[in-house]
Amino acid sequence: MYVENVKSQMRKGMLEYCVMLLLDKKSYYSSDIIDELERANLIVVEGTLYPLLSRLKKEGLLDYEWQESTSGPPRKYYKLTEEGRLVLVALDKSWCTLAGTVDRIKML
Amino acid sequence: MKKSFNVNLGGRIFQIDEDAYEQLNDYLVSVKTCFMNNNCGEEIAADIEARMGELFAERTAADSNIINLRLVNEMIARMGKPESMVDEDGEGDADKSNKSADGTADSQTSQTKNDGNFSGRLSMRKKLFRDGDHKMLGGVISGLSAYIKVDVTLLRIVAILLFFVTTFWAFLFYLIAWAIIPLAITTTDKLRMQGVEPTPENIAERLIEEEPAIDKIMRNLKEVDNKGIVRLLTILACVLLVSMLIAPMCKEICFPLRPVHSYFGFMPLFIVLGWIGGMSILAIPVITVVLALSSKWGSLSASVKWLLLIDWILAFVQVSVFSNLFLF
């Protein structure tokens, strides 16, 4: 139970950063984001993603546009805004520092 | 037979069973409620609805065209509990800081607004259901215990006493109640059974508690309910055994005197009991053959098969005892 708790805390911290990393490369449909995150074991239940996307949008870090779909209703394609890219650069730095710190402590 | 509707789920049209519809509606309403304090709550709920529509479209194309309760429960498990969605992205923290900044008055107004929105629409009276989650046989007594708030074991003891005192007429009453009282299937049903108002908050809370129950439903659908069948067959065996033991005593006491009341009091009872025995002689082999021919025979436990045989033999003995006593 304790291990699960810590793991879930780690995932929470990572999730936002990973979503932004994904959206930096190309624009994504939310279901494709879910597929990627599930493949990486970052997400347990799918519902978690939507409030996160909504929050990032509210912060102005990402935006979406509607695109027609060959099957079913139109879909929202999310992509990072300029501001989002700037934030991502900052997060990248922070991540490198964190990863470096972890590696360094492991080496001690 | 089930009623079914057409629904528009995130821009797709589906055909959905009535019980599945209610469960899905409960879920979507509780999702909406959880995100009510969020500015973009409507949008999040719409996104989730659209995603569920997409998943249903994938699944219904593969199986059949109809959304059933099992599929809905599966999808709810996949999407997750509404509350964990709010928690996991720190939205809850943001709300807390908002509230502390704006003072308690704000949270109170949002609370009253929330009550006004939903309780009027969903307000329903307590209703008698059969409780399938805590059943021994048909769930009539467990449902009744939830309804009148009396301990279920106590009610069961009273029921068994009634079965004997009323010379099994209470059992007939039980069977009728089993047939006419609806089973509590959706979360709304289960809340109404206990007299809890099915507000979105209560539904959300119950859905969280019930997550293991979803697994149970899915497991039950795959497996045969061996325990239930064993109970039923044991009761049948007891009825047959007790009836052939009490029949000679009753005949000795009542029939030589032949007062009117004993004739009306006991004769129909023995007709019913004899009918149960006779039907068992016919029905048990038929049911056995049908089961043996279907794929379910392998998943039946050994005790079920033995009980079928024992019941059949008992039915023969009971019918021959009865015909000796009453016909010749």
Place of tokens 């139109």: A74
Query: What pLDDT does residue A85 have?
Result: 92
Check A45 against B38: CB less than 8 A apart. Answer: no
Taking CB atoms and an 8 Å limit, are A73 and B12 in contact across chains? yes
Tell me the average pLDDT across A24-45.
86
Residues in B closer than 8 angstroms to A15, CB to CB, are 88-89
Nearest residue of A to residue B35 by CA position?
A: A51
Pick the residue from chain B with its C-alpha nearest to A49: B85
CB-CB neighbors (< 8 A) of B32 in chain A: none
State which amino acid sits at residue B256: P
Specify which residues B307 forms β-bridges with: none
Give CA torsion, residues B76, B79, B80, B82, to 10 deg. -90
Among all chains, which residue has been given the structure tokens 């007429």?
A: B169
Chain-chain contact of A45 with B85 (C-beta, under 8 angstroms)? yes
Over the stretch B86-126, which tens digit does the pLDDT of each residue have? 644 444 443 433 333 333 333 333 333 333 333 333 445 77
Q: Which string of b and e fits A61-77 if b means at least 16 CB within 10 Å?
A: bbbbeeeeeeeebebbb
Domains of chain A by residue range = 2-107
- Which of B93 and B235 is assigned the larger pLDDT? B235
Which range (B278-287, B297-306, B307-316) has the least confidence? Answer: B297-306
How far is Cα B289 from Cα B285, in angstroms, rounded to an integer? Answer: 6
User: What torsion do the CA atoms of B5, B10, B12, B14 make, to the nearest 10 degrees?
Assistant: -20
Residues of B within 8 A of A47 (CB-CB) are 31, 48, 79-82, 84-85
Q: Do B79 and A47 touch (CB under 8 A)?
A: yes
pTM given for the model: 0.49
Residue pointed to by tokens 């009865």: B322
Per-residue pLDDT at B276 exceeds 90: no
Of B64-68, B294-298, B311-315, the least confident: B294-298
Amino acid identity for residue A57 in this structure: K
Report the SS3 class of residue A27.
coil
- Considering the four listed CATH numbers 3.40.50.2000, 3.40.470.10, 1.10.10.10, 2.60.120.700, the one that applies to the domain covering A2-107 is 1.10.10.10
Whole-complex ipTM:
0.84
List of chain B residues whose C-beta atoms are within 8 Å of the C-beta of residue A31? 51, 54
Q: How many Å apart are CA B51 and CA A33, to the nearest integer?
A: 12
